[in-house]
Amino acid sequence: QSALTQPPSVSGSPGQSVTISCTGTSSDVGDYDRVSWYQQPPGTAPKLLIYEVNNRPSGVPDRFSGSKSGSTASLTISGLQAEDEADYYCSSYTTSHTFLIFGGGTKLTVV
Amino acid sequence: QVHLVESGGGVVQPGRSLRLSCAASGFSFSRFGFHWVRQAPGKGLEWVAIIWYDGSKEYYADSVRGRFIISRDDSKNTLYLEMNSLRAEDTAVYYCARDRFTYHMDYWGQGTLVTVSS
Provide the pLDDT for residue A98: 85
Taking the Cβ of residue A46 and every Cβ of chain B, the question of whether any pair is shorter than 8 Å is answered with: yes
Provide the pLDDT for residue B103: 87
Q: Edge-to-edge strand order for the sheet containing A18-23?
A: A18-23, A72-77, A64-69
DSSP state of A42: T
- For residues A14 and B62, what is the distance between their CA atoms, to the nearest angstrom? 41
Tell me the nearest-neighbour CA distance from B14 into chain A, angstroms. 24
CB spacing of B50 vs A102 below 8 angstroms: no
Taking the Cβ of residue B44 and every Cβ of chain A, the question of whether any pair is shorter than 8 Å is answered with: yes
* A57-91: pLDDT as tens digits: 999 999 999 999 999 999 999 999 999 999 999 99
| C-alpha distance from residue A86 to each of A11, A39, A41, A44, B97 (Å) | 11, 6, 4, 10, 19
Provide the pLDDT for residue B3: 98
CB spacing of B103 vs A100 below 8 angstroms: yes
- For residues A56 and B72, what is the distance between their CA atoms, to the nearest angstrom? 29
Residues B78, B92 contacting (CB under 8 angstroms): no
If you average pLDDT over every residue of chain A, what do you get?
A: 95
| C-alpha distance from residue A103 to each of A97, B110, B112 (Å) | 16, 21, 22
Taking the Cβ of residue A30 and every Cβ of chain B, the question of whether any pair is shorter than 8 Å is answered with: no
The least confident of A95-99, B31-35, B80-84 is A95-99
Provide the pLDDT for residue B2: 96
Residues B45, A38 contacting (CB under 8 angstroms): yes
| C-alpha distance from residue A71 to each of A21, A53, A68, B42 (Å) | 10, 12, 7, 27
Kind of pairing between the strands at A9-12 and A106-110: parallel
Closest CA to A27 of A111, A108, A109, A93: A93
- For residues A82 and A108, what is the distance between their CA atoms, to the nearest angstrom? 10
- pLDDT band at residue A26 using 50, 70 and 90 as cut-offs: confident
Provide the pLDDT for residue A2: 65
- pLDDT band at residue B116 using 50, 70 and 90 as cut-offs: very high
Provide the pLDDT for residue A62: 95
* B34-55: pLDDT as tens digits: 999 999 999 999 999 999 999 9
- For residues B33 and B72, what is the distance between their CA atoms, to the nearest angstrom? 10
Question: Above pLDDT 90, what percent of chain A?
Answer: 92
* B68-115: pLDDT as tens digits: 999 999 999 999 999 999 999 999 999 999 998 888 999 999 999 999
